Structure 1
Amino acid sequence: MPITRAKATQLLNQKEMALYDDSRINGLRQLDAKALASRVTRARTARDRARDLVQKHKLASRERTGSKRGRSGVANQRSKDKAELLADILKRFETRLREVEREAKAAAKRAKAPATKRTTTRTATTATKRPTPRRAARRAGEDKAPRAAATKRAGARKATSANTSAGKPARKAARKRRITPEQALAQTRALLEAKHARELEPRPWEATPGNEPGAGAPGYQSDSAARRAKRLHAAEARIPAIQGSISTRDRINQGKRDHRGQDGD
């Protein structure tokens, strides 16, 4: 049965878990032939060590329990599972190494085949058909005409591109123009100064009666606003309301103090 990663963590140590992770599909895709060969060696060494441990546990179980197979016990089963898991890891590395080597050989054959084929064809053609001097001269004349036409077309394209580029120097310069950090800082400062100037200017509703703007005076804008603010403050402070004028309240309090002795008589 396949062993999950959680079970593998219980069976393998840190280095063996690294081999386990590399043997998964995503890990195998990132390894070349050299890396795969190194991991095959490490996995084979770990598998052989696990198999030796399984054999030792079997022999110890035979002596202790008298069983012929010597497979009883949790430790024996654990060693067996570890050996099977390492064998599976080794098999994965070996299979992937064979695939990589096969792909490399195929790529080398594809790279060599075209060059060999062209060389063989050219040699066979030269050996079977040797041109006469008249035919060679005719072929040279035929080759000169296409070359001259190609040279003429290349010169025409260069002239056209030169004329086109000469008519657009200003546009290219405009595209390449960039703002330096100092210019950007100066523009930012100018914008901030303009903003502060706008904030210091009086608002339209703060204009004086003569329609001349002026700085606002400190305090309340009107007497009614001051009275509303005082009432709000008194309500928030829970100050008891005063009924009557201050002089009336003083006379009432003084009369109460004067009649204290009379009430006791």
Structure 2
Amino acid sequence: MKAKKIYFASDQHFGAPNAEKSLQREKVFVKWLDTIKKDAEAIFLLGDLFDFWFEYKHVVPKGFVRVLGKIAEIRDAGIPIYFFVGNHDLWMIDYFEKELNIPVYREPTEFTLHNKTFLIGHGDGLGPGDKGYKFLKKIFVNPLSNWLFKWLHPDLGMGLAKYLSVENKTISGAEDVHFLGEYKEHLILYCKEVLKEKHYDYFVFGHRHLPMIFDLPHNSQYINTGDWISYFTYGVLENGVFDIKEYK
């Protein structure tokens, strides 16, 4: 029997830059999901699936029916899916949990997979620097801020949030997509600090939009799954070995 695989993907940003181009990428991602469901042991979605997501009590963002339908189909087939909120879908509440039976994580979380230890998350706000975004994130996740935003009509609220998601680089968390070097990459520095206290075989994050496998001290590796805008890359764990692949 062929060994099962665990898949990781992040930063699809569906909804950006416009409905037409987003739909093209969404169809590609759904095709990939359809391909991997045949041998997937589990799927980790590491955040920013949407370029903007906010849940009102009775309203969620319009669109995305193809990807949501495919995720529901895979989950209904018994394949576990884990979702980590990113800086663009911070306002995920319980829609995925109630409608899709998918757990939602808001912080880096430990997993043991194929006898390897993992620390998995989206990656925003980790490591040194980025103080502007870290300050704004505290405001965005504050229950009072969420309560006040809900009083805006969805047409106004979602229109405003979508504009800020694209135009405000502090909010969007946009970074230089070129490798900045071992001593300037915030997530590499974060991993090294964590390793001083506890060992993990793999650190797996998104957010950076830059696919890479970087060797860390003590036989550990930092993995970034890239994105589905420029790279169309994903991570795959098979028999305890992690690899980054491109979907073509």
Q: TM-score range by the shorter chain?
A: under 0.3
Greater strand proportion: 2
**Relative contact order, higher structure (CA 8 A, sep 6+):** 2
Higher relative helix content: 1
Q: TM-score, normalised by structure 1?
A: 0.18
